[in-house]
Amino acid sequence: MTRAVVVEQTGGPEQLKIVDVKVGEPGPGEIRIRHQAVGLNFIDVYHRTGLYPLPLPATIGGEGAGIVEAVGEGVSFLKAGDRAAYASNTPGSYADVRVMPAKHVVKLPDAIDFDTAAAMMLKGLTAQYLLKRSSMGQLQRGDQILFHAAAGGVGLIACQWAKALGYEVIGTAGSEEKCALAKANGAAHAINYSKEDFLARVKEISGGKGVKVVYDSVGKDTWDKSLDCLRPLGIMVSFGNSSGPVPPFSPAILGPKGSLFVTRQTLFSHIAVRETLQAMADDLFEAVTSGKVKIHIAQRYPLDQVQQAHRDLEARKTTGSTILTL
């Protein structure tokens, strides 16, 4: 038996219940992992509320790090005793122990501790595909990009990595403190969108031209102005909707705005092939161990405080990465 956070019906943080569940042996292509730390992400909120529906009851959470306890038939790249970490589209990390598909799991370098790994896998792999795979090869050193929620878990990683790649980052955040954090982590400019019109500031910073790429995980509240921040042939990369889903829109509006490209990205499309996941993870590990990217764990909650962790996340009280400790 093990502790797990279960959602029996969708709703608010009060629906997160800690229960004892039975954990069996891994089947073919699976492993059993004992978590040392678990990551908290906004997709967990979407699963809890039902925005991204799961069969209920469900154990949520898609990011964790720990020690492999057992491997199933056909798993040759991991063994019992390995330090490991993952980002997975098979939820279930909010637990002391779980059985899961091995294809989502990678060995963890000795230089990276469990807390850091749990805080960086989903967010860091997201930053990797955003900066290196989703812009269709259009970015070059010196290009300006706009990154919303720049002081969040993905944002702080992306700002540092983008600066290392030579891009000029314009970040947005909801407070002066968060703007200062974004600038301290690589953003050349930071806009407090609770006080400033970010569209006007982006136009000012870019000399009226607009930016080449906008990375938007906020959704409804930033969408329309974000499109107008783009230069002709610019790319809108949508990868989340923390303020709510983007309303339906006609593709015909993209032509007059400069023949814009719009793409809705998810990490799990990029890591569906194990070899690609490993290559992306290796790139992330190198960025962290080389010091190009530092992982900021700004909040730690024991597993039994998971409801409060979700409340703080939704209230935008968090910065950087958040982990659940076990």
Q: Report pLDDT digits (tens) over 222-240.
A: 999 999 999 999 999 999 8
* Arithmetic mean of pLDDT over the chain: 96
Give the pLDDT of residue 245. Answer: 86
Give the pLDDT of residue 135. Answer: 86
Q: By three-state DSSP, how is residue 247 classified?
A: coil
- Residue 143: phi and psi, rounded to 5, are -70, 150
* 242 compared with 124, residue with greater pLDDT: 124
- Outline where the chain has alpha helix (H): 42-49, 114-132, 153-164, 176-184, 198-205, 223-229, 267-270, 274-289, 306-314
Mean pLDDT value of segment 14-25: 96
Closest CA to 281 of 143, 163, 112: 112
* Residue 6 CB neighbours (<10 A): 19
Q: By three-state DSSP, how is residue 171 classified?
A: strand
Give the pLDDT of residue 241. Answer: 86
Q: Report pLDDT digits (tens) over 89-99.
A: 999 999 999 99
Q: What do you get for the CA distance between the two ends of the chain, in Å?
A: 15
List the beta bridge partners of residue 261: 235
Helix, strand, coil content of the chain in percent (nearest 5): 30, 30, 40
Give the pLDDT of residue 229. Answer: 98
Percentage of residues of the chain with pLDDT beyond 90? 93
Give the pLDDT of residue 126. Answer: 96
All domains in the chain, ordered by first residue = 2-124+268-325 (3.90.180.10), 135-264 (3.40.50.720)
Do residues 63 and 89 make contact, with C-beta atoms less than 8 angstroms apart? no
Give the pLDDT of residue 23. Answer: 96
From CA 49, how far away is CA 38, in angstroms rounded? 20
From CA 300, how far away is CA 17, in angstroms rounded? 19
Give the pLDDT of residue 37. Answer: 98
From CA 9, how far away is CA 311, in angstroms rounded? 17
Give the pLDDT of residue 270. Answer: 96
Q: Report pLDDT digits (tens) over 3-13.
A: 999 999 999 99
Q: Distance of CA 110 to CAs 38, 65, 116, 133, 288, Å? A: 18, 12, 12, 27, 12
Per-residue confidence band for 310, with pLDDT thresholds at 50, 70 and 90: very high
Q: Tell me the residue type at 159.
A: C
Q: Report pLDDT digits (tens) over 24-66.
A: 999 999 999 999 999 999 899 999 999 999 999 999 999 999 9
Would the pLDDT of 244 be above 90? Answer: no
Which pair of tokens denotes residue 5?
Answer: 């956070």
Q: Report pLDDT digits (tens) over 178-224.
A: 999 999 999 999 999 999 999 999 999 999 999 999 999 998 999 99
Give the pLDDT of residue 316. Answer: 86
Give the pLDDT of residue 215. Answer: 98
From CA 69, how far away is CA 81, in angstroms rounded? 6
What's the gap between Cα 223 and its chain centre?
A: 19
Give the pLDDT of residue 137. Answer: 83
Closest CA to 199 of 133, 153, 243, 257: 257
From CA 207, how far away is CA 196, in angstroms rounded? 17
Residue with tokens 């960025």: 287
Give the pLDDT of residue 95. Answer: 98
Would the pLDDT of 115 be above 90? Answer: yes
Report which DSSP code applies to 121.
H
Do residues 217 and 157 make contact, with C-beta atoms less than 8 angstroms apart? no
Buried b (16+ CB within 10 A) or exposed e, 10-43: eeebebbeeeebebeebeeebbbbbbbbbbbbbb
pTM for the complete prediction? 0.93
Per-residue confidence band for 136, with pLDDT thresholds at 50, 70 and 90: confident
Give the pLDDT of residue 242. Answer: 84
From CA 193, how far away is CA 262, in angstroms rounded? 22
